[in-house]
């Protein structure tokens, strides 16, 4: 006997169809959530070694549904990627993150904001125009926007992708490779693409400093990044031992629970300027 779940009829429905039903429902709710303005962005501090200065913020989408509660982007972003709705979500995220950076700037807080870009979003013919328009509308300097691309994004259509990356770089936007090392990488593109930053994926940080393969991979990424003149940031840093290992390996920027969780914009501002009273 299988667990019934909320709806009793699930009992006789083959598993695949249950999945399809719940995915359709999730897709529907996701569209409604965007229409009703239920998405929020949280911002996770990126911290510089030594000074502990916050040098940037990664925008991460949050969705709290009245019925379902908090739904992880790890659950709905992949679904949105399949259905194509991630383009609409991505447009909203871009506008909102740029607007937030502009609000901070207007209050004297100059904070670069990093936005996750999905493959489908990057492939939109007007993506570069969309980015330029978002910056213009918010009157935000392009230097305060970073776009996090995954290796999958970069490998798909190299000619057009390369052209697009150069156009974004020409705007003054920073480009980084997210989850570096997890995709099917070709080292050649690191040289050809106008990338400024690598993010070491959490899966390689987790086993530090004990796991010999994580040690090897982390060292290799840091050294390669430095050889190419790229910034290297480690994500998912949870322990002092991980931080210390990465620091001695030559990685000087960190993001992870050891420093801070993703925060609401007001919490983020508090954290960055604790002495400012409103
Ligand atoms: P990601 O881009 O690799 O983002 C980092 C994820 O790791 C975030 O999960 C963050 O909350 C989490 N994290 C940060 N520090 C730590 C740590 O020390 N330990 C652990 N265990 N986790 C840590 P989150 O917010 O649940 O997002 C999951 C994924 O969903 C993101 O992975 C990204 O791929 C996607 N995502 C989130 N927001 C957006 C968005 O606005 N647009 C797009 N396209 N994707 C997004
Ligand atoms: Ca990211
Ligand atoms: Ca990442
Ligand atoms: Ca990751």
* Between 158 and 171, residue with greater pLDDT: 171
Largest CA distance in the chain: 61
Residue nearest to atom 3 of ligand 1 (CA): 179
Alpha helices, DSSP H only, in 112-185?
119-123, 127-138, 151-156, 158-171
Indicate the top mutation candidate among 57, 73, 80 to test ligand 1's pocket, ranked by most ligand atoms within 8 A of CB: 73
Tokens of 68: 């379902």
Predicted confidence at residue 13, as pLDDT, reads: 59
55 contact partners, CB below 8 Å, separation of at least 6: 46, 47, 48, 112, 253
Residue nearest to atom 23 of ligand 1 (CA): 236
Q: What are the tens digits of pLDDT across the range 67-83?
A: 889 999 999 999 999 99
Mean pLDDT of the chain: 91
State the Cα–Cα distance between residues 148 and 195, nearest whole angstrom: 10
Q: What are the tens digits of pLDDT across the range 5-42?
A: 454 444 555 666 668 888 899 999 999 999 999 999 99
Beta strand spans in 151-273 (E) = 174-180, 197-200, 231-234, 253-254
Residue 262 near ligand 1, beta carbon < 6 Å: yes
> Among 96, 26, 27, 38, which residue's Cα sits nearest to residue 66?
38
Residue nearest to atom 43 of ligand 1 (CA): 116
CB atoms within 10 A of CB 4: 10
State the Cα–Cα distance between residues 255 and 259, nearest whole angstrom: 7
> Among 209, 206, 198, which residue's Cα sits nearest to residue 251?
198
> Among 218, 224, 166, which residue's Cα sits nearest to residue 195?
166
Q: In the chain, count of helices (H) and strands (E)? A: 12, 9
Predicted confidence at residue 83, as pLDDT, reads: 93
- Nearest atom, ligand 1, residue 81 CA: 44
Residue 45 near ligand 1, beta carbon < 6 Å: no
Q: What are the tens digits of pLDDT across the range 235-259?
A: 999 999 999 999 999 999 999 999 9
Instruction: Indicate the pTM of the whole model.
Output: 0.93
Residue 61 near ligand 1, beta carbon < 6 Å: yes
Residue 134 CA from chain centroid, whole number: 18
**Residues 161, 195 contacting (CB under 8 angstroms):** no
User: Quick one: DSSP state of residue 142?
Assistant: G
How much is the ipTM here? 0.98
Residue 60 near ligand 1, beta carbon < 6 Å: yes
How much distance in Å is there from the Cα of 227 to the middle of ligand 4? 23
């Amino acid at each position: 006997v299988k667990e019934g779940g909320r709806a009793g009829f699930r009992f006789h429905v083959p598993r695949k169809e249950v999945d399809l039903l719940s995915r359709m429902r999730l897709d529907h709710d996701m569209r409604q959530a965007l229409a009703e303005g239920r998405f929020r962005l949280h911002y996770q501090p990126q911290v510089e070694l030594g000074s502990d200065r916050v040098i940037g913020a990664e925008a991460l989408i949050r969705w709290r549904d009245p019925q379902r509660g908090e739904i992880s982007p790890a659950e709905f972003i992949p679904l949105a990627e399949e259905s194509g709705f991630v383009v609409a979500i991505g447009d909203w995220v871009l506008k909102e993150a740029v607007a937030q950076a502009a609000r901070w700037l207007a209050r004297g807080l100059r904070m670069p904001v990093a936005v996750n870009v999905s493959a489908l979003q990057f492939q939109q013919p007007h993506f570069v125009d969309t980015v330029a328009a978002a910056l213009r509308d918010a009157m935000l300097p392009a230097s305060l926007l970073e776009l996090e691309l995954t290796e999958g994004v970069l490998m798909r259509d190299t000619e057009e992708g390369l052209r697009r990356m150069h156009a974004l770089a020409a705007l003054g936007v920073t480009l980084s490779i997210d989850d570096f090392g997890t995709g099917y990488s070709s080292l050649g593109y690191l040289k050809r693409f106008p990338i400024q930053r690598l993010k070491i994926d959490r899966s390689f940080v987790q086993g530090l400093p004990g796991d010999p393969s994580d040690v090897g991979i982390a060292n290799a990424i840091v050294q390669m990044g430095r050889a190419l003149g790229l910034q290297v940031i480690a994500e998912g840093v949870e322990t002092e031992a991980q931080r210390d290992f990465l620091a001695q390996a030559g990685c000087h920027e960190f993001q992870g629970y050891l420093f801070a969780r993703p925060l609401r914009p007001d919490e983020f501002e508090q954290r960055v300027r604790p002495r400012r009273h409103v």
